[in-house]
Structure 1
Amino acid sequence: MSATYIDPSPANFQAFKDLPRDEPIHMLNLLQYRDEADYPDGHEHHGKGWSGRRAYEEYGKTSGPIFRRVGGSIVWRGAFQTVVTGPEAMQWHDGFVAQYPNAGAFFEMIKDPDYQKAVVNRTAALADSRLVRFAPGDAGEGF
């Protein structure tokens, strides 16, 4: 089985922290949900039989106000269909690009105590994910 990624490694997170914090960023999110959410014992949603997708919806509901408060917005969202170039095993359920006014806003969000409670839903929901930072560029007709 190939490696899965839910949270950043210390080295990857340090690389993110070392980049400029005062310029806009786009964060590509690729999501693969668990069949059944995996909440820790004692969590309010443990044992409810939620799907991973349902748990991610809860993450969106509980983290959304914080995401919007720091200036975040979704600039693109899509549902996976097929891999054209890449490994056939690379299967995602959903993808989206979140835009933040700057990396400082992202840090403000993840440090928020309410966000830290909400992120448990994300962890319970996902079998695998990717989170990739990009500097926004110009959109248009050319490559």
Structure 2
Amino acid sequence: MGDINYIDPSPINFQAFKDLSRDEPIHMLNLLQYRDLAQYPAGHEHHGNGWTGKRAYEEYGKTSGPIFRRVGGKIVWRGVFQTMVTGPEDRRWDDGFVAEYPNSGAFFEMIKDPDYQKAVVNRTAALVDSRLVRFRPGEAGEGF
């Protein structure tokens, strides 16, 4: 692939996220591309277990899910990639979903939780590339 792969936010992007309103609902678009083989750090309990990236991401979901739900998060849309219609032809995503949080404070509460910080190792091990994009929810309906 010709472009850079992203797993974690850059300091500049994360600051831009933090500078936005913190008291309104947010939608976080997640696009995921899994590694063929998960890459856990040496010494981690799952290092060398032969998990696929998809399996490691499932572990991330299992271990972070209770925290996500506790802060009021929910999945409002989920899909499985089929083809790129507009965009780089060599780009593909394995999965995508939109997570809704009651506000960005809930997102911060989740990522600061010590159990979440243990769980997120699974996400890092799982992904070769990702996108995480914040949106303010709008009205759904028939029109663009």
Q: TM-score, normalised by structure 1?
A: 0.99
Q: Secondary structure at the match of 2:44?
A: coil
Pair 1:129 & 2:127 matched: no
User: 5+ residue gaps in structure 2?
Assistant: none
Instruction: Give 1:2 deviation, angstroms.
Output: 2.0
TM-score scaled to structure 2, two decimals? Answer: 0.98
Asked if 1:49 is matched to 2:50, the reply is yes
The aligned amino acid for 2:84 is V
Q: Aligned with 1:83: secondary structure?
A: coil
- For 1:21 and 1:112, the matched residues in 2 are separated by 18
Q: Which residue of 2 aligns with 1:97?
A: 98
Greater CA deviation, 84-93 or 10-19? 84-93
Counterpart in the other structure of 2:121:
120
Counterpart of 1:16 in structure 2 is 17
CA distance, structure 1, for counterparts of residue 76 and residue 58 of structure 2: 18
Counterpart-to-counterpart distance in 2, 1:102 and 1:89: 35
2:73 alignment partner in structure 1: 72
Name the residue aligned to 2:143: 142
SS in 2 for 1:57: helix
Structure 1 segments, 4+ long, off by >3 Å, are none
Aligned residue type for 2:68: F
1:99 and 1:90 mapped to 2: Cα distance? 25
* Structure 1: 5+ residue stretches without partners: none
What amino acid is the match of 1:121?
N
Separation of aligned partners in 2, 1:121 and 1:21: 27
